[in-house]
């Protein structure tokens, strides 16, 4: 890089660090608000309509790029049409739910878009789920059938009850099944797809479907219990693309990089909807690879990618290269980027615009940092222009503060509060709606009523935020028993239930502990063994491997001498979280999960380093 180029990069970094006025920020947010209001709830306009319009506009242009194979908008449309025709013959139509379990690959898009052409609803399954959570996912969405990628077949083969659902196989040449396929799995489905007509079904097959109708179900973990299916309408999905299109100033020349799992809201909604809205391309990778990331970016001229904080940390941990700043990335969007990682990222890889945000799959309110203000997840210049509020909250008591009239209290700068979104309920307004879950009970459980006045209703996020004197917001933590690790919400109750029958164990208390330089919290299990029983670390490792998804496994185990219970016999967590995995604070046998040795090993600095974990820095829960 020449001296003049370096000087320009430094100047751009200096510009990024400068704080705009509230009015300047609000002008950007107003553009987002206008974009969010383009599609009306009653519009006879679906994702299939938008996709087919973009095919007409950009037919020969790349829509998907996967392992060097390029799929144009037209080719993706033709493959989706084949899926749609076979689904129709097999009885899938308007309002029917078809579940999907598939890793990131082109057929994921073909299958999903094919279902939208029929006005059907797609339920994206987390392919890490098995057993009861998997059956619950299928039951709670009332799935009429499930499309199973061959790469995901093992969890279905190992799950009692999966055979009760009509299942259609999509082969995977890259990851063929190692064991015989389950007898109930229909292996003729994909051959029919490949032989089907590539012309689009007539749009009349989805007649009557409105923009406000359900298009997609995405699973999200609640604070306790089994995952819940959040509802995503055609309107909300397309509006996400409209909003991010104006935010990122996307053009058809842009190329998105998709390395997060497509069953997640981020990849399936923000990336895909924005690329489709703008006529851009998406480079799809099965799973994130730190060693291949930059070669993918350079080879495909990727200009935008969606991150989680962990991805950036992994990339920064790779050795520095002479060509670190020689790439095509111009901006990135995501969540979980710490201020220090953020600063190091810009200094090493150049003045890439960072759009750090906060929200949730089911959220009716969100914030996004449109100013590149380091460490912040967004700015609220004027509270009267947003439906978001922060309700003062005491993490120790688990209660919201109330004023003398019994009303909730909005936070002052610096105070920690739960983020809530005012629920807009108007037939002509889509923005601010809370679409909820497939379970009415789960939907109601997330609504606070009579918050500031009689009759109002607010979506409760379960997330704690704070804001500063300039209106910049900062994520603090999750409320209650759910913690976030490896970009996944982990329910402590679900993990405890899955591991509760470990031989010789009296009880298990699962919680999340802070890990320096890592996003979210790592799982830790405090175990009380029965009298006369000793903790077997290797047996527990095998037990964990068989019972819970990889992101939910306890990274640490402490073997307790007695249970720490409240007077109502509830397990205490706050003090345990504070102690973390500091052996001086724990004062009990402490173990670390060691993947290489396939066991939990006694705590040591060497064990931490071997498993890529820093020493515990100490922090309040």
Using CA atoms, how far residue 88 sits from 152, 191, 198, 200, 463, in Å, is: 24, 15, 14, 12, 41
Asked if residue 376 belongs to a domain, the reply is yes
Highest mean pLDDT out of 84-88, 264-268, 542-546, 558-562: 84-88
The percentage of residues in the chain with a pLDDT greater than 90, rounded to a whole number, is: 70
Whether residues 495 and 603 share a domain: the answer is yes
pLDDT digits (tens, 9 = 90+) for 405-461: 999 999 999 998 999 999 999 999 999 999 999 999 999 999 999 999 999 999 999
Domain total in the chain: 4
- Select from 460, 385, 456 the least CA-distant residue to 421: 460
Residue 54 has pLDDT above 60, yes or no: yes
**Segments forming the whole domain that contains residue 220:** 42-287
| Side-chain-side CA neighbours of residue 422 (13 Å) | 15
Whether residues 391 and 534 share a domain: the answer is no
282-296, 370-384, 427-441, 556-570: least confident range? 556-570
pLDDT score for 224: 44
pLDDT confidence tier of residue 222, bands split at 50, 70 and 90 = very low
Q: Do the beta carbons of residue 245 and residue 304 sit within 8 Å?
A: no
Asked if residue 201 belongs to a domain, the reply is yes
Whether residues 103 and 209 share a domain: the answer is yes
The percentage of residues in the chain with a pLDDT greater than 70, rounded to a whole number, is: 93
pLDDT digits (tens, 9 = 90+) for 553-581: 999 999 998 766 543 334 667 788 889 99
Whether residues 381 and 466 share a domain: the answer is yes
Q: Do the beta carbons of residue 373 and residue 379 sit within 8 Å?
A: yes
pLDDT digits (tens, 9 = 90+) for 455-480: 999 999 998 899 999 999 998 777 86
CATH code at 73?
3.40.50.980
* End-of-domain residue from the set 266, 287, 308: 287
DSSP at 390: E
Whether residues 50 and 193 share a domain: the answer is yes
* End-of-domain residue from the set 478, 499, 521: 478
Asked if residue 423 belongs to a domain, the reply is yes
Residue 216 has pLDDT above 90, yes or no: yes
For residues 124-144, give the mean pLDDT. 90
Strand 214-220 to 121-124 pairing = parallel
Whether residues 265 and 141 share a domain: the answer is yes
Asked if residue 603 belongs to a domain, the reply is yes
For residues 178-204, give the mean pLDDT. 93
pLDDT score for 11: 54
Whether residues 197 and 250 share a domain: the answer is yes
- Select from 102, 82, 119 the least CA-distant residue to 234: 119
Looking at every residue in the chain, the average pLDDT score rounds to: 90
Whether residues 382 and 343 share a domain: the answer is no
Separation CA 161–CA 132 (nearest Å): 9
3-state SS record for 448-501: EECCCCCCCEEEEEEEEEEECCCCEEEEEEECCCEEEECCEEEEHHHHHHHHCC
pLDDT score for 4: 52
3-state SS record for 29-52: HHHHHHHHCCCCCCCCCCHHHHHH
CATH code at 402?
2.30.38.10
Asked if residue 30 belongs to a domain, the reply is no
Whether residues 340 and 441 share a domain: the answer is no
pLDDT digits (tens, 9 = 90+) for 315-350: 887 889 999 999 999 999 999 888 878 998 999 999
Beta-sheet strands, E only, within 51-101: 62-66, 69-72, 97-101
Instruction: Give ∠ CA 58-61-66 in degrees, rounded to 5.
Output: 135
pLDDT confidence tier of residue 7, bands split at 50, 70 and 90 = low
For residues 75-95, give the mean pLDDT. 98
pLDDT score for 395: 65
Asked if residue 6 belongs to a domain, the reply is no
Read off the pTM: 0.80
Whether residues 333 and 435 share a domain: the answer is no
For residues 177-193, give the mean pLDDT. 91
The three-class DSSP label of residue 282 is: strand
Tell me the β-bridge partners of 97.
Answer: 121
pLDDT score for 327: 97
Interior/surface letters 164-188, b for 16+ CB within 10 angstroms, e for the rest:
ebbbbbbbbeeeebeeebbeebeee
* End-of-domain residue from the set 338, 358, 378: 358
pLDDT confidence tier of residue 481, bands split at 50, 70 and 90 = low
pLDDT confidence tier of residue 617, bands split at 50, 70 and 90 = confident
pLDDT score for 192: 98
Whether residues 300 and 274 share a domain: the answer is no
CATH code at 510?
3.30.300.30
Asked if residue 32 belongs to a domain, the reply is no
For residues 156-184, give the mean pLDDT. 90
Separation CA 351–CA 595 (nearest Å): 37
Whether residues 122 and 208 share a domain: the answer is yes
For residues 484-503, give the mean pLDDT. 79
Asked if residue 11 belongs to a domain, the reply is no
């Amino acid at each position: 890089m020449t001296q003049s180029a370096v000087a320009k990069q430094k100047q751009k970094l200096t510009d990024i660090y400068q704080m705009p006025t509230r009015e300047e920020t609000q002008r950007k947010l107003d553009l987002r608000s206008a974009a969010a209001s383009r599609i009306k709830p009653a519009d006879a306009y679906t994702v299939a309509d938008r996709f087919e319009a973009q095919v007409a506009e950009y037919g020969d242009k790349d829509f998907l790029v996967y392992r060097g194979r390029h799929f144009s908008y037209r080719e993706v449309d033709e493959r989706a049409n084949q899926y749609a025709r076979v689904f129709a013959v097999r009885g899938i139509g308007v309002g029917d739910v078809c579940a999907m379990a598939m890793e990131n690959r082109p057929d994921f898009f073909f299958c999903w878009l094919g279902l939208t052409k029929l006005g059907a609803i797609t339920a994206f399954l987390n392919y890490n789920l098995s057993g009861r959570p998997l059956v619950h996912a299928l039951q709670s969405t009332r799935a009429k059938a499930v499309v199973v990628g061959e790469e995901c077949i093992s969890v279905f083969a190992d799950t009692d009850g999966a055979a009760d659902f009509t299942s259609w196989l999509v082969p995977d040449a890259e990851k063929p099944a190692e064991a015989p396929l389950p007898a109930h799995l229909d292996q003729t489905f994909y051959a029919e797809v490949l032989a089907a007509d590539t012309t689009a079904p007539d749009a009349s097959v989805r007649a009557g479907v409105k923009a406000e109708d359900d298009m997609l179900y995405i699973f999200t973990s609640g604070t306790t219990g089994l995952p819940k299916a959040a509802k995503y309408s055609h309107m909300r999905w397309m509006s996400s693309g409209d909003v991010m299109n104006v935010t990122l100033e996307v053009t058809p020349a842009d190329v998105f990089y998709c390395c997060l799992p497509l069953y997640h809201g981020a990849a399936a909604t923000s990336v895909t909807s924005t690329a489709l809205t703008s006529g851009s391309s998406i480079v799809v990778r099965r799973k994130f690879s730190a060693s291949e990331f930059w070669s993918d970016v350079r080879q495909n001229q990727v200009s935008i990618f969606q991150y989680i904080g962990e991805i950036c940390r992994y990339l920064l941990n790779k050795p520095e290269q002479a060509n670190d700043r020689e790439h095509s990335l111009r901006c990135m969007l995501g969540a979980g980027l710490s201020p220090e990682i953020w600063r190091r990222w810009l200094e090493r890889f150049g003045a890439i615009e960072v759009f750090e945000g906060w929200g949730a799959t089911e959220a009716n309110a969100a914030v996004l940092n449109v100013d590149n203000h380091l460490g912040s997840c967004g700015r609220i210049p004027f509270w009267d222009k947003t439906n978001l509020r922060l309700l003062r909250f005491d993490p120790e008591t688990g209660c919201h503060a109330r004023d003398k009239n019994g009303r909730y209290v909005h936070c002052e700068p610096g105070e920690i509060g739960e983020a809530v979104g005012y629920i807009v309920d108007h037939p002509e307004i889509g923005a601010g709606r809370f679409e909820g879950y497939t379970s009415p009970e789960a939907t109601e459980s997330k609504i606070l009523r009579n918050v500031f006045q009689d009759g109002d209703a607010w979506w409760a996020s379960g997330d704690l935020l704070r804001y500063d004197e300039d209106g910049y917001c900062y994520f603090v933590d999750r409320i209650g028993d759910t913690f976030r690790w490896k970009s996944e919400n982990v329910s402590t109750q679900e993990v405890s239930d899955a591991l509760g029958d470990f031989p010789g164990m009296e009880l298990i208390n699962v919680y999340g502990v802070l890990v320096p330089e890592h996003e979210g919290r790592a799982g830790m299990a405090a175990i009380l063994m029965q009298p006369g029983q000793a903790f077997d670390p290797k047996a527990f490792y095998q037990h964990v491997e068989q019972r819970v998804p990889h992101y939910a496994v306890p990274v640490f185990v402490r073997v307790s001498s007695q249970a720490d219970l409240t007077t109502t016999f509830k397990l205490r967590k706050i003090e345990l979280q504070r102690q973390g995995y500091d052996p001086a604070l724990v004062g009990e046998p402490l173990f670390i999960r060691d993947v290489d040795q396939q066991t939990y090993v006694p705590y040591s600095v060497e064990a931490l380093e071997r498993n890529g974990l820093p020493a515990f820095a100490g922090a309040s829960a």
